[in-house]
């Protein structure tokens, strides 16, 4: 049985902006004690005050998740201040937009350091405390791109695939502890400043692909997992649709994804190449939203997601029919063979 949010201590990495910030505020609103981690000290302090104003206890611990010792220190600080960690949200992530062949190798590697090793460091730091308590919820932020690929984002996509696999492995390893849980969150395109902060070597400014959902929606999914842990939670209707499409027609869906990225993932604004916040944090964009339109939550967005879902289902039906027909042909051939003999 997990604890009430009001009585829980929640550690959140990548809390200075986007989904992490939204989660911290949502948890504080419910009276949770939040331990906030990110590289940007000032943004963290401001968030801590904001959380305290909402009725939660809050502690800011400046942390670069690429540094394992820093992550261990984060866990230790939480324990020394509150005696317990009930929920650990591995959220910190950066991204890089570049064709693989044009991506600077050092930037590429750093995406893995933050996204994947950051979560590995988090899990390694917190699980011994969970074991000692006999309870705890580890929530790992993966993505809908843990199910599909995308051009221009291979570093990000690969880390998100890895996180999903890593989480599934951990989930099986903690089966021996009744009240220790590992949850994977798979958000669709979310309105956060991830795109403004991204490293970018494409020459064009990136934007989230439609339909876009709000960071608060992901925060609600995280909070819900903290209270009632689930294996995997998809956020945003398009996530499910993409998964279904992929299952039905993998080849076609890959080509469709590539086309969609070309069409919808970039604006026409020309931007110079740069490492964004991948190597060092940037002071701007310490906010929940990136100012994108949350089209996924508008009626048309829902219709679009629904249409994608319907397309996936009908695709599945067509594929099934084709398969059955082929199988029938096979039977007919066999029967004919038998008859010939």
Which residue numbers are catalytic? Answer: 156
Q: Which of 41, 52, 73, 131 binds another protein (CB under 8 A)?
A: 131
Query: Contact between 83 and another protein (CB under 8 A)?
Result: yes
Q: If binding is defined by CB under 8 A, does position 132 make contact with another protein?
A: yes
> For the chain, first and last CA: distance in Å?
67
Q: How far is the CB of 168 from another protein (least distance, A)?
A: 25
Task: Tell me the angle at which helices 237-248 and 250-264 cross, rounded to the nearest 10 degrees.
Answer: 140
Provide the 10 A C-beta neighbour count for residue 4. Answer: 12
Q: How far is the CB of 1 from another protein (least distance, A)?
A: 13
Binding flags for another protein, 257-276, as an x/- string (CB under 8 A) = --------------------
Contact pick of 53, 55, 128, 330 for another protein (by CB under 8 A): 128
Closer CB to another protein, 8 or 150, in the complex: 8
Radius of gyration of the chain measured on its C-alpha atoms:
22
Q: Which residues contact 178 (CB under 8 A, 6 or more apart)?
A: 134
Residue 7 lies near another protein (rule: CB under 8 A): yes
Query: DSSP states of 35-50 as a string?
Result: EEEES-HHHHHHHHHH
- Other beta carbons within 10 angstroms of residue 77's beta carbon come to 17
Is 135 within 8 Å of 86 (Cβ atoms)?
Answer: yes
Stretch that binds another protein, among 78-86, 145-153, 251-259, 317-325 (CB under 8 A): 78-86
Six-digit token string for 12: 């959140």
Site string for another protein, 21-50 (x = CB under 8 A): -----------xx-----------------
Residue in 82, 112, 168, 258 binding another protein, rule: CB under 8 A: 82
The pattern of x and - marking residues 135 through 174 that bind another protein according to CB under 8 A reads ----------------------------------------
Neighbours of 79 (CB within 10 A): 17
8 near another protein, rule: CB under 8 A: yes
- Per the CB < 8 A criterion, the answer to whether 28 and 55 are in contact is yes
Fill in the DSSP letter of residue 92.
-
Residue 87: CB minimum distance to another protein, A: 12
Using CB under 8 A as the binding criterion, the count of chain residues that bind another protein stands at: 20
What would the x/- binding string for another protein be over residues 45 to 64, using CB under 8 A?
A: ------------x-------
Q: Does 6 bind another protein (CB under 8 A)?
A: yes
Note whether 129 binds another protein by CB under 8 A. Answer: yes
Contacts of 86 (CB under 8 A, 6+ apart): 2, 3, 7, 8, 9, 10, 135, 136, 137, 226
Q: How many CB atoms lie within 10 A of CB 251?
A: 7
Among 52, 67, 73, 133, binds another protein (CB under 8 A): 133
Segment interacting with another protein, rule: CB under 8 A, options 17-25, 82-90, 225-233, 235-243: 82-90
**Strands, E, within the chain: which ranges?**
9-13, 33-38, 58-62, 87-90, 96-97, 135-141, 179-187, 190-191, 199-200, 204-206, 213-214, 232-235, 266-270
Please identify which residue in 69, 80, 176, 268 interacts with another protein, judged by CB under 8 A: 80
- Site residues (CB under 8 A) for another protein? 3-4, 6-9, 32-33, 57, 79-84, 128-129, 131-133
């Amino acid at each position: 049985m997990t604890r009430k949010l009001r009585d829980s201590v929640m550690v959140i990495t990548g809390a200075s902006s986007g989904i992490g910030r939204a989660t911290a505020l949502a948890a504080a609103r419910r009276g949770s004690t939040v331990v906030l981690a990110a590289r940007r000290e000032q943004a963290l302090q401001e968030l801590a005050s904001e959380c305290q104003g909402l009725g939660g206890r809050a502690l800011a611990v400046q942390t670069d998740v690429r540094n394992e010792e820093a992550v261990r220190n984060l866990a230790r600080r939480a324990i020394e201040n509150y005696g317990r960690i009930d929920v650990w949200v591995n959220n910190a992530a950066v991204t890089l937009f570049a064709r693989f062949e044009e991506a600077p190798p050092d930037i590429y590697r750093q995406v893995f350091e933050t996204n994947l090793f950051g979560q590995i460091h988090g899990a390694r730091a917190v699980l011994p405390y969970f074991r000692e308590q006999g309870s705890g919820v580890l929530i790992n932020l993966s993505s809908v791109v843990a199910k599909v690929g995308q051009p221009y984002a291979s570093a990000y996509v690969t880390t998100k695939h890895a996180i999903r696999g890593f989480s599934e492995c951990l989930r099986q390893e903690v089966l021996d502890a009744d009240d220790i849980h590992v949850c994977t969150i798979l958000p669709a395109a979310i309105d956060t400043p991830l795109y403004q902060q991204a490293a970018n070597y494409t020459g064009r400014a990136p934007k989230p692909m439609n339909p876009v959902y709000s960071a608060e929606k992901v925060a609600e999914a995280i909070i819900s997992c903290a209270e009632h842990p689930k294996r995997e939670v998809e956020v945003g209707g398009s996530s499910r649709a993409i998964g279904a499409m992929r299952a039905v027609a993998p080849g076609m869906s890959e080509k469709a994804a590539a086309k969609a990225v070309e069409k919808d993932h970039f604006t026409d604004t020309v931007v110079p190449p740069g490492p964004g916040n991948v190597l060092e944090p940037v002071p701007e964009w310490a906010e929940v939203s990136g100012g994108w339109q949350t089209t996924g939550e508008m009626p048309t967005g829902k219709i679009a997601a629904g249409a994608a879902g319907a397309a996936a289902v009908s695709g599945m039906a067509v594929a099934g029919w084709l398969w059955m027909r082929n199988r029938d042909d096979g039977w007919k051939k066999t029967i004919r063979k038998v008859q010939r003999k």
